[in-house]
Amino acid sequence: MAKTIEKKLEIASEFVKCPKCGKDIKPQGMPGHMRFVHATHTPSPRKDAPPPKPIQRVVASVSVVQELKSIVADLDEVRQELERVKKKKDAEWFKHDETLDDRLSVLRAEETKLKARLQQLKARTTPNT
């Protein structure tokens, strides 16, 4: 008789009672029991919860505006340089400096590239609706 009580006490100290169903569970098994038997795991984020889009959109538009500004600045610089080279070429037409022609074509290509990029960005910032 005394032996059974001892055994019961031993078991009682080895296990903890589940607060939900009263079942004896090993302490290390309790988190799993709660999770799988009583499904008390932290709920996964609701699928209809609004995604953190607005902030991302604001950041995106700020970076677009910054890019626009830098492209406009670049374009300005390229055009000024283009004017300088053209004037130099006009003034030194008799020298027939080929490096000036090269410089002009490089600048014109750069201007075209920047204009295209500018159009792309403007299309992105203008709503299609």
18 to 57: interface string for Zn ion, x by CB under 5 A: x-xx-x----------------------------------
87 phi, psi to nearest 5 deg: -65, -45
For residue 13, give the nearest of 31, 30, 26, 2 by alpha carbon.
26
Number of residues that bind Zn ion (CB under 5 A): 4
50 phi, psi to nearest 5 deg: -65, 130
Q: For Zn ion, which is the closer residue by CB, 23 or 41?
A: 23
Q: Rounded CA gap, 1 and 101, in Å?
A: 111
Q: For Zn ion, which is the closer residue by CB, 21 or 62?
A: 21
By the rule CB under 5 A, 118 interacts with Zn ion? no
Interaction site with Zn ion (CB under 5 A): 18, 20-21, 23
